[in-house]
């Protein structure tokens, strides 16, 4: 939690004023039992109604002043807590965006979402409560004990015994519940994961009639969460009855000793009432303190989880400036030299000993079976992952010597899964280039074969796109994502199996348009269709992470058995031989 307290630095004034006003409110509250004691001993005993009225007005004044102090403290504590939460959320979001694919893959999207929302809200609530109650409750507890000593030492000894007992109970329960709250938060991650998977994969689940099985899986996970919450809730709930028992036993002892003292003439009736009021104040504040500690426990568990994300260092390290210049006369756009790559802590390489060179302006086809490493290979070019062995060169310069911004500006990337954002078509295309003109957008749409369906929409470029492009077909989404990559006129274009939803005619027209309209652009076509990549200047054939072949379509048919098998599985023998 200490690491996160720096977010309160911008709210030092609020963080000081809030507890001060709460202490001021508590100070006025401690005077109330003394005023009540005087009303009983002086006003009621002597039947002085004027004195009773005067003291009654003083009680009202103390109440008004206390309320004003409380509202002031509430305002400043809320301002500090909300500001703290806003700054923390912004920094966490920025840090998550700085992580490489490897850290995001390892942590999981559902976990990151939980920590961005639930955990930060929990900490924000904890900060608010701490600013208001952390000093106030102990102040009243010990203040009431001190005030009791000013009334009668013998009776006040009951406070000395009761308060340590209550402290043992409170801190003992806190120590037992902290680890359990961590388990609750971890289980909440699992519930969110299943929820997210079901919502994003709802069509698949319904198409294979898996609703009942998914309901059962969710119920099992949710039941585990409920069991954990109930268990830790029982431990926390144990707090109130135990504190009530201790305080009520203390009250009984106080009344009994007070009665004996009154009978002996040592204490007045008003003094006994004041002592009982102080004990009641202690009871109220200890209940508040107990709830505060439960919230602090939850907040500490959430803070530890957030710190786990902040402690993640991106495996892809950025540089502050480009370390060397690109080779101006090189004809090689991309050089992959003896590259080997493995995901995470895997002992097996996903790509091993890959070597090839790409000239500027060439179109490169990449083909291979599922899991052969096609997407992995193209993800190394914009440095979404770093290689374990070898080097990746762009224009004769190692990708590690570019700033990530400068490197990735060179690329237009269309991922396997078409991702669109809620907004208009124009806003989605401008993700590729913020200042793109309408003319540039229309040109990109034309190249991406999306011109016809956009023009048919009444709003044109201002047509609304639902979250994830749910109001568009698969082919329309793919064509818009291709247009988004093309609008920036990139030096390198990566199409990662991004035409899988297009028919053969549209696919062919797309490839022809890209070749004609992307001057000097080096294009990487990743596909499982041999027809998509057969006209490429060079074709890379991957097989289980190895480069099985490299050459033109005709060359590979005669030299690469893997490529020939892929072609024969998709085309007739006559089509392959006449290709």
Calculate ∠ Cα 188-189-191, nearest 5°: 65
Give 363-418 pLDDT, tens digit per residue: 999 998 888 889 899 999 999 988 989 999 998 889 998 898 899 899 999 888 88
CB 567 within 8 A of CB 558: no
Higher local confidence (pLDDT), 330 or 440: 440
Predicted local distance difference test score (pLDDT) of residue 279: 80
Least confident stretch, 36-45, 116-125, 403-412, 546-555: 36-45
Predicted local distance difference test score (pLDDT) of residue 567: 86
Predicted local distance difference test score (pLDDT) of residue 577: 59
Give 131-154 pLDDT, tens digit per residue: 888 888 888 888 888 888 888 787
CB 565 within 8 A of CB 558: no
Predicted local distance difference test score (pLDDT) of residue 100: 85
Least confident stretch, 72-76, 170-174, 506-510: 170-174
- Cβ-Cβ contacts under 8 Å for 76 (sequence gap 6 or more): 13, 14, 17, 18, 21, 131
- Cβ-Cβ contacts under 8 Å for 235 (sequence gap 6 or more): 173, 176, 177, 180
pLDDT-derived band of residue 538, with 50, 70 and 90 as boundaries? very high
Range 187-210 burial, b when 16+ CB lie within 10 A, else e = bbbbbbbbeebbeeeeeebeeeee
Question: Which residue ranges make up each domain of the chain?
Answer: 2-310, 419-489
Predicted model pTM:
0.73
User: Rounded to an integer, what distance in angstroms lies between the CA atom of residue 340 and that of residue 546?
Assistant: 10
Right CATH for 2-310 from 3.90.79.10, 1.20.1290.10, 3.30.410.40, 1.20.1560.10: 1.20.1560.10
pLDDT-derived band of residue 572, with 50, 70 and 90 as boundaries? low
Distances (CA, A) of 306 to 8, 85, 256, 402: 16, 12, 52, 30
Give 246-282 pLDDT, tens digit per residue: 878 888 888 888 888 888 778 888 888 888 888 888 7
Take residue 463 and report the two structure tokens written for it: 């047509």
Question: For helices 474-486 and 504-517, what crossing angle results, to 10°?
Answer: 10
State the chain's mean pLDDT as an integer.
86
Predicted local distance difference test score (pLDDT) of residue 576: 60
Predicted local distance difference test score (pLDDT) of residue 250: 83
Distances (CA, A) of 351 to 231, 369, 543, 544: 48, 14, 9, 8
Q: Are the folds of 2-310 and 419-489 the same?
A: no
Give 34-92 pLDDT, tens digit per residue: 888 888 877 777 777 888 888 889 889 988 998 999 899 999 999 999 999 999 999 99
Neighbours of 17 (CB within 10 A): 19
pLDDT-derived band of residue 177, with 50, 70 and 90 as boundaries? confident
- Cβ-Cβ contacts under 8 Å for 396 (sequence gap 6 or more): 326, 327, 330, 332, 335
Least confident stretch, 294-298, 323-327, 492-496, 513-517: 323-327
Residue 362 has pLDDT above 80, yes or no: yes
- State the average pLDDT over residues 145-172: 81
User: Rounded to an integer, what distance in angstroms lies between the CA atom of residue 119 and that of residue 303?
Assistant: 7
CATH of domain 419-489: 3.40.50.300
């Amino acid at each position: 939690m200490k690491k996160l307290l720096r977010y309160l630095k911008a709210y030092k004034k609020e963080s000081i004023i809030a507890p001060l006003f709460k202490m001021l409110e508590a100070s006025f509250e401690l005077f109330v039992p003394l005023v009540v004691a005087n009303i009983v001993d002086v006003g009621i005993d002597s039947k002085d109604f004027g004195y009773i009225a005067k003291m009654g007005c003083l009680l009202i004044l103390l109440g008004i002043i206390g309320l004003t102090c409380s509202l002031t403290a509430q305002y400043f504590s809320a301002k500090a807590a909300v500001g703290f939460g806003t700054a923390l959320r912004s920094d966490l979001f920025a840090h998550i965006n700085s992580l490489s694919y490897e850290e995001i893959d390892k942590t999981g999207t559902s976990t990151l979402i939980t920590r961005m929302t639930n955990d930060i809200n929990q900490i924000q609530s904890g900060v608010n409560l701490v600013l208001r109650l952390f000093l106030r409750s102990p102040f009243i507890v010990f203040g009431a004990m001190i005030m009791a000593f000013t009334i009668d030492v013998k009776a006040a000894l009951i406070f000395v015994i009761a308060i340590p007992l209550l402290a043992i109970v409170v801190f003992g329960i806190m120590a037992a519940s902290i680890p359990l709250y961590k388990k609750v938060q971890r289980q909440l991650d699992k519930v969110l994961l299943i929820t997210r998977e079901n919502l994003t994969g709802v069509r698949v689940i319904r198409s294979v009639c898996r609703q009942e099985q998914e309901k059962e899986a969710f119920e099992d996970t949710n039941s585990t969460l409920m069991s954990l919450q109930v268990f830790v809730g029982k431990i926390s709930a144990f707090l109130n009855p135990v504190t009530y028992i201790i305080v009520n036993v203390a009250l009984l002892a106080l009344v009994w000793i007070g009665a004996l003292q009154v009978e002996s003439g040592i204490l007045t009736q008003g003094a006994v009432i004041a002592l009982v009021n102080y004990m009641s104040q202690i009871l109220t504040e200890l209940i508040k303190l107990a709830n505060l500690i439960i919230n602090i426990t939850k907040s500490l568990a959430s803070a530890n989880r957030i710190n786990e994300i902040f402690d993640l260092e991106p495996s892809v390290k950025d540089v502050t400036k480009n370390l060397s210049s690109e080779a101006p006369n090189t004809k090689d756009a991309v050089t992959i030299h003896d590259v080997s790559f493995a995901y995470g802590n895997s002992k097996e390489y996903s790509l091993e000993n890959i070597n090839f060179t790409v000239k500027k302006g060439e179109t490169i086809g990449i083909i291979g079976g599922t899991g052969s490493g096609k997407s992995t290979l193209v993800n190394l070019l914009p440095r979404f992952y770093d290689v374990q062995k070898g080097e990746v060169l762009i224009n004769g310069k190692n990708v590690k010597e570019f700033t990530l911004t400068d490197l990735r500006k060179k690329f237009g990337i269309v991922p396997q899964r078409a991702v669109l954002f809620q907004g208009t078509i124009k806003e989605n295309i401008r993700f590729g280039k913020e200042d793109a003109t309408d003319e540039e957008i229309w040109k990109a749409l034309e190249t991406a074969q999306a011109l016809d369906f956009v023009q048919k929409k009444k709003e044109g470029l201002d047509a609304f796109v639902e979250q994830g492009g749910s109001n568009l077909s698969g082919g329309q989404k793919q064509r818009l994502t291709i247009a988004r990559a093309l609008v920036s006129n990139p030096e390198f274009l990566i199409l990662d199996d991004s035409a899988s939803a297009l028919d053969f005619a549209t696919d062919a027209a797309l490839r022809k348009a890209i070749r004609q309209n992307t001057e000097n652009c080096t294009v990487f076509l990743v596909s499982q269709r041999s027809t998509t990549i057969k006209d490429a200047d060079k074709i890379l054939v991957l097989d289980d992470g190895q480069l099985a072949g490299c050459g033109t379509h005709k060359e590979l048919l005669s030299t690469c058995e893997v490529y020939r098998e892929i072609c024969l599985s998709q085309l007739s023998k006559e089509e392959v031989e006449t290709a």
